[in-house]
Structure 1
Amino acid sequence: MAKPRKKLPEKSVDIYCSKCNSALFQYKKGGKGALVKCFKERITKDFTSEPCQCPNCQQVFARETLIRGTPAYKMIGGKVWFK
């Protein structure tokens, strides 16, 4: 499996908690589909104090994993939204 591209995508999205609407990440997202995973190297701003946990309501919104040999967060469906 190929690794994700080194060059970051142009599009930047803000990721929010769906329970309390607090900001979680600012992320360089490629493509126009749903947010399924976040590669750690593409996160430009991280507002969380603990990994995969909302700083405001303490809800777990993702799991840490390796995707194609690269560290990433695998999002849990319905726990986050982005714009």
Structure 2
Amino acid sequence: MAKPNKKGPIKTVDIFCQHCNQALFKYRKAGKGALVKCFKERISVDYTEQSCTCPKCKKIFARETMIRGTAALKIIGGKVWFK
């Protein structure tokens, strides 16, 4: 399968923890759909101290994985929201 576009989209979204509303990432998201995965190369600002864990409430919101040969975070349903 093809790798994701490295340059990626220009539009950024802010990703927040559903439990405590702590900012987690600024992410260059493509499309209008739900947030299912975040490619690590598209994260423009990372507010987390430990990967996949909210810095405020310490809840795990994603799992590290490889998607199409690229490092990504697979988001657990209902753990984050974005605007």
Instruction: Give the TM-score taking structure 2 as reference length.
Output: 0.98
Please tell me the residue identity of whatever aligns with 2:79. Answer: K
Q: Does 2:56 align with 1:31?
A: no
Q: Percent identity?
A: 69
1:55: which partner in 2? 55
* Structure 1 residues not aligned, in runs of 5+: none
Q: Give 4+ residue runs of structure 1 displaced > 6 Å after superposition.
A: none
Deviation string for 1:2-21 (max 9, x for gaps)? Answer: 00012220110000000000
Normalising by structure 1, we get a TM-score of: 0.98
Long gaps (5+) in structure 2 = none
Match of 2:14 in 1: 14
In the alignment of these two chains, the number of paired residues is 83
- Which residue type is aligned with residue 31 of structure 2? G
> 2:47 and 2:54 mapped to 1: Cα distance?
9
